Amino acid sequence: MALLQNNPQPGSFAVLRFDKYFRRMSAVAIRQDQPSPPEIQLFGVGMAFFHQTTVLPTFVSKLTDSTALVGLVATIQSGAWLLPQLFAASYLAGRSRKRLFMVIPAFVGRPVYGLLALLVLVIGPSQPIVLLVALYVAMAIFGVTDALCSVPWYDIQGKAIPPDRRGRVFGIAQIASGLLGVALGGVVGYILALPGLPFPSNYALLFAIGTVAFMLGAGALSMIREPIVASHDERTPFRDFFRAIMPTLRSDQRLVRIVATRLLLGLGMMIYPFYVVYADRELGLGSEHVGLFLSAQVVGNVIGGVLFGQIADRWGTRAGARAAVVTASTAPALALLAGAAGPALGQAQLYVIAAAFTAVGMTFSSYLICFMNHVLEISPKNDRSTYAGLFNTINGSLLFVPALAGWVLQVTSFATVFAIALAALAAAGVASLGLAEPRRQPADSAP
């Protein structure tokens, strides 16, 4: 029997064999196009308590007045996650079994955040520099190990899920974790507002809860059954792998175009760690609204999961990437509106900023559904790890952009940084016009 049944009947159970390889990850039978892999959901729950646009930036902003150090949160998070993937892709290239290379890093890196929670609780507010360094180190370790885990994870998804179902599969998985995240925004806001739990003990509790979710997710990850398909006999030495980067880019213009679009989109998203700081310091909305902003962004993830999943499946990942540029542009535009209108908006100012977080959440949901899905569709079947690692690593060139944005913010203004972001997003829109629809040409027949 074929690994994937290409044309299952609507409404049938997943005879796709997606069911077979992920049945241990679900508590109930998986209906076609409605998978519920708890690892994705539990990882999403964990990330809600270490949220990169709300929780971590506010934690850092309470330890320092430097916006550059706030931006360093995103720099470390992105760099630690993206850069190791090129090495991981080289090491895994040609291996038919990659499951252990996915599971082991998860159990190595995720407990580090538990140690951070303990350190924050023990040290308290008296040594902010120590807490900052500890946070950055923990983020780096977590990011590197998660990067090593992600390359085989993407490859396994590519082997187990057919191209015309991936958008919906990933979208539904994000919706499931997103629905939990909406409630978690209230939990985060409640914990941060507890009068009997002052800073930084309230953040220590957030970090501890997040670590528990991460470890439960690692357990679910270990239950994945990997489909085995034929691959190269030997892995590619890193030197040869590195030398093949430019020929790969020269030989596949579709990869170049999606990389260019994603780079410009990432440049336009450079301001995302500062929205919560902008709301607090510039608009005077206060950090007590962090829970609302988190919920708003998670709602955006849910909406994005539905929207981009449908777009990717119905019209293709090219249309999804273009739609992502539109949602990304909405966030800085709304932030500028909230600042320009000022007190005239009254209470509505809070909801305008919340809407900006919703747009950010929608854009983040497009990464897996539209951009990585696009890369999986254009990659030859034996080179999925190479393409995934190459794509993510090239995007790692943006790792210093948030810290740079923080420096620019210190010497200019929020309005200036928002305007720069909008200009980059306009360029991303232009670049997306050159994207080809991969379903019109099979990956292995691409020039």
| Tens of each residue's pLDDT in the chain, 447 residues | 232 333 333 333 232 333 333 333 333 323 333 333 577 778 888 888 998 888 999 999 899 988 889 888 888 887 787 777 767 766 666 666 767 777 888 898 899 999 999 999 999 888 999 999 999 999 999 988 888 888 777 777 767 677 667 666 766 766 676 677 778 888 888 898 888 888 999 999 999 999 999 999 888 877 777 666 655 545 556 666 667 667 777 777 788 888 899 999 988 988 888 898 888 888 888 667 888 888 898 888 888 888 988 898 888 888 899 999 999 999 999 999 988 887 777 778 888 999 999 999 899 888 878 888 888 888 877 677 678 777 877 777 777 888 888 889 888 889 899 999 999 999 999 999 988 787 765 555 454
Which pLDDT value is given to residue 7?
A: 33
Residue 132 is predicted with a pLDDT of 95
Is 13 strand, coil or helix? strand
pLDDT value of position 402: 85
Q: How far apart are CA 180 and CA 160, in angstroms?
A: 26
Which residues, in sequence order, are CB contacts of 93 under 8 Å at separation 6+?
A: 232, 235, 236, 241, 383, 385, 386
Task: Tell me which residue has tokens 């509505």.
Answer: 348
Dihedral over Cα of 95, 161, 433, 418: its sign: negative
Cα(74)–Cα(426) distance, rounded to whole angstroms? 22
| Integer angstrom CA distances of residue 160 from 28, 287, 353 | 19, 43, 39
- Tell me which residue has tokens 């379903």: 439
Is the CATH number of domain 30-445 1.20.1250.20? yes
The whole-number pLDDT of residue 441 equals 59
Furthest-apart CA pair in the chain: how many Å? 67
- Give the H or E element holding residue 258: helix 253-268
User: What stretch of H or E contains 163?
Assistant: helix 163-193
| 227 secondary structure, DSSP code | P
